[in-house]
Structures are given as structure tokens and as C-alpha cells.
Structure 1
Amino acid sequence: MAEASEPPLRILIVDDEAPARSRLRDLLGDISGEQPNLVAGMAANGVEALRLLETEAADVVLADIRMPAMDGIELARRLGALPVPPAVVFVTAYDQYAIQAFELEAADYLLKPVRAERLAATLARARGRLAARVPVPAPPQERRHLSIGERGRILLLPVADVIYLKAEQKYVTARTAERDYLLDESLVQLEQEFPRRFVRIHRNCLVAVAAVQGVERGGDAEGQWEILLAGLPERLPVSRRAWPAVKQVLGL
């Protein structure tokens, strides 16, 4: 059983059938007391999963094998090439892919229908594997500038000038008090590199902690919290999922 102090595993569910995705989500909720977890996202195939991972970090990917566009085997190959790959668990109705799965160093291979106790044991195993992983040495110090390719030249944007970073389609926009810049980097990479400088307020947005002037209830019926920014009139919405972490970082 996981210790109460252990952080929740971030889980990405990948299955082309909506009922199967819902069942896994419900099972994860049932075992959250034993194995703390949160669902980082759900995708219908490998292509959607990779797109989600551009803005959402995941510790464990629960993936079906037979899916359109990109199947689970190809998805596992792509994930294995990442600098910090998540643990992959195949969840399938077919047993003939087990050898391929373990050649790809899958954390487990579960046959549908999955039982709650079996899934809990799998997450415990994945947690142990992630804890035992040799960490990649961090650079001596974080970058002080971001490289911007613009009109045939390279601009150096001071990280300290960035008020927020927002993922939009294939690019990340870096907003300063003066203007926007386009970065050819993923939001997840930037979040991992600058964990003390930026806080995630939404799945597609990081805000510089130093640029936050305060928070205020929005004008919509749901009363969503919004970030007030120094140097900019615009307000940025905080998602319900991100709000607890934002409160903690800002000391609210």
C-alpha cells in the first residue's frame, strides 16, 4: 500500500472506446486511497496521447493496443524515446501482444476486464519502478535566456521578462510586458526546467510567480478564479484542477 505522504501518480488513459476509458477512470478512483493517483487526461489513440503529453506530464500511461491512427505498441515506442519516459501499462483484450509489450519494457500487461486489486498492484509496481529510475543530472544552472527564431535571426529573451507561457497549437507563446514571442519548445519541458519560476494555472498555461499581483473571482456564473498580472491588464483563468497547487505556491 502507498504511504499517505506519497504524491499521486499522474495517469494518462489511452483507449479508442469511451466506455473502456470511463471504466479505467472509475477504477482509478476506487483505488485512490490505496494508490494515490489523478487522471492527467484521456485519449482515443496514440496520436491524441502524444498531443496531450505536449502540455500534460504523466507518470503512467494506461494504453490499449488495438487503436486507429496509432496503436499502443507504436505509442510505447515513441514514449520510450522521451528523455524522461512514463511507465507504460498495456490494458487490452488480447494476449498475443505480451512478448512485444515486455520487449518494450512495459511496466505490466493487463487483460480486460481489469480488477481493481490487480490495477492497484500494477500502480504500486510502476511507482517502485519510477522511484528506482536513475535521475537525469540537472544542468548546473537553469537558462537565463530563451532562444527565439524570428525573421532569420536568433533573439535572446530573458526568462525574467516572461510573464506567462501559453501553449497554442504547435507553439508556445511567451508573453512579456511589451509583446508576444513564439517558442519552439513544449510547455512540459519549460515547466520541468523552471519549477520555481513558473506555476501551472491551466493545462495550457504557466504563469511567472513573481508576476502574480493577486487572484480574483471571475464574472462568470461559476465564479472561476483568475490571476491578476503585474504589467498586463488581462486576467488568466485558473482551472479547478490547478487551483489547489496554485493556492499552495502563492501562499493563499
Structure 2
Amino acid sequence: MSDASVDDPGLAATALIAEDEPLLAHALQAELRRAWPGLQVVAHAPDGDAAVELALQHLPELLFLDIRMPGRSGLEAAQAIVEDWPADRLLPLVVFITAYDQYALQAFEATAVDYLLKPVQSARLVASCQRLRGLVARRRPAAGQPVSSLHTGSGGGTAGPDGEHLLSQLRQLLGAPPSAGSAPQWLSVVQASIGSTVHMVPIEDVIYFEAADKYIRVISATREYLIRTSLRELLPQLDPQRFWQVHRGTVVQAREIDQALRDEAGRVQLVLRQRPERLNVSRIYAPRFKGM
């Protein structure tokens, strides 16, 4: 591949824009059309949930995700997309659109995630598109070979170097503390209601938490409870050294993991010490389970 093709504005590629403000979404598409004429925007998503659905429907090569959207945030949408992305397709390149303050921008830069700051500046978008065209061109297989047939990485997956970089970025951003401040007070007791009775479940007794619609299932060795909260609200209250997120909807107490089993395709399942069911591990968190 020649150097000229790496920075060719006519290089064909597909993208999805997720932005809850229609005027901003259309303005971004217009700017993209000028900066990258060969880029085809295949879908607009008005919220995080639609972003996941449309991304998995169209499988675009690039995602432009607003961080703050109704429903899932941009980070949560990226997490869900990556977890459900077909194993035989290269992971998409992700650009986050954010109005975060300088502290948050430093966090993005530290993990080398590309981002656009609202309001999007034309010069910044041109520079981003130039970088993205180079990444797209380098990811492309030889002429005539479809992108989906490019198999890289181990275990039959197609993450590739860029995909592994994206997974690393998401792990860091999803696991980053919400803000600097005093030492957190970790949750010690879960108050779970069953009928008119409130059960005080010691955190030591919880084997795993699993998101279920508007509730979270709290699973102990012998019982199951429901709490009316979201995993997003619960996670900051859990000691990350003791409770590991292994999927966007599952958090498990580390000491309750007996084995991590990896199949030929690289998928990981956890065998628990006190429960018969096995827990699936998403590709974002699978690197946690490597031999020392």
C-alpha cells in the first residue's frame, strides 16, 4: 500500500454517529463530508441504546460516540458494542465526542483515545480524520480481499493491534475513578427487599451481581435477592480489589472464582466455588485471566 493511499480523502469507509442533539449530529456529518469525502455515515443514533443496536446492525468501521447521551453513555455503548461485535470482524475505531473538563480530557489523552471536544472545531476534525484514514488504510487487507476476512490475533479472533488497543482503552476508562477526592467508603452490607422484608446481606456473602432490567440480582451461595438500582450506581461502591467486573452486566467477588476456562475461540468462562452456573467473560475483561 502506498503512502498516498494512507492519507487519501477519497478512501472509502463507513461510520456511525451517536449524538442526541440532531443539529449537532447533522453539523458533524457536514464537517465530516468536507474533511473526508469518502466516508459514508450509515446511521445516526439519538441515544446510547440506539447506538448499540445500529452499530451491530450496520457494523461500521468507525464510531463517533457522544459521551453523554440518554440511556447508555458513550462509554457504556462502546462497551456493549465491543462485547457483542461479531468475532470474525475487526473491531471498529472509536472517536468519543465530549464536553468534559480538562481533567477528563487528560484521562482520554493518557489512554490515547481519540476524542473531539464540543463544539467540534474544523481543524481538529481534519486532523482526526487524517489519523483515522491512516488507521483504516493500514487495517485493510490486500486489494480484493474483504476486510472481514482479515484474521489476526490469537484464538480465532480479529481484534488485531488496533482492536487490542481499543480494548485496553475501554478497560482503563471504564475502570477509572469518577473523580479525585477522599478515600472511598466501600459497601459493607447490601439492603435487599423481599416483599415487605428488608434483608441485610453482608458483602462477604455476595458471590456475584448481575444486571437484570431495572434491577440487580444479588447472588449468594444459597439465595438470590433483587435490589432496585443500576450497576452504574453500584460499581463505585464496590472495592475493585475484591469485586471484578467481567462483563457489562456482571460483577463477581474475586475469591469466589475457582477456574477460568478458555475455549478454542478465546472465549472465557468462570467456574465458581459455591455456585453451579458459569459466568461469561467479555473480551474487554478477558486479559485479566492470564496465567502469571
The normalised TM-score by structure 2 is 0.46
**Pair 199,134 (structure 1): closer, same or farther in 2 beyond 3 Å:** closer
Question: 2: distance between equivalents of 1:142 and 1:177?
Answer: 21
> Cα offset for 1:213?
0.4
Give the alignment partner of residue 209 of structure 2, picking from 137, 161, 165: 165
Q: 1:138 to 1:188 in 2, by over 3 A?
A: farther
Q: CA deviation at 1:119?
A: 9.9
The whole-number CA distance in structure 2 between the counterparts of 1:51 and 1:174 is 27
> Could you tell me which of 206, 227, 231 is aligned with 1:187?
231
How far apart in 1 are the matches of 2:253 and 2:205? Answer: 9
Q: Specify which of 240, 243, 250 is matched with residue 286 of structure 2.
A: 243
Contact in 1 for aligned 2:260/2:289 (Cα 8 Å): no
Amino acid at match of 1:209: A
1:46 maps to 2:57: no
- Give the C-alpha shift of residue 238 in structure 1: 1.1
The structure carrying a bigger helix percent of its residues is: 2
**Sequence identity, in percent?**
27
Q: Equivalents in 2 of 1:142, 1:236: separation in Å?
A: 24
Verify: 1:25 aligned to 2:69, yes or no: no
Question: Structure 1 stretches of 5 or more lacking a match?
Answer: 1-12, 27-41, 64-75, 88-105, 121-130
Change (3 A) 1:50 1:210: same
Superposed CA deviations along residues 113-146 of structure 1, whole A, max 9, x for unmatched, are 93344899xxxxxxxxxx9x9624334x422111
Is 1:213 paired with 2:262?
no
Cα 1:196–1:190 shift into 2, 3 Å: farther
In 2, Cα distance between equivalents of 1:23 and 1:172:
33
Secondary structure at 2:120 match in 1: strand
The aligned amino acid for 2:180 is P
User: Which amino acid is 1:210 matched to?
Assistant: R
RMSD: 4.3
Distance 1:147 1:236, change over 3 A: same
Q: Residues of 1 paired with 2:78 and 2:209: CA distance?
A: 11
How far off its partner does 1:154 sit? 1.9
- What pairs up with 1:37-186 in 2 under 5 angstroms? 46-50=69-73, 53=76, 62=97, 107-110=117-120, 114-117=125-128, 135-139=180-184, 141-186=185-230
* TM-score where L is the length of structure 1: 0.52
Does the Cα contact within 8 Å between 2:267 and 2:281 map onto a contact in 1?
A: yes
Shift of the 114–143 alpha-carbon distance from structure 1 to 2, 3 Å rule, reads same
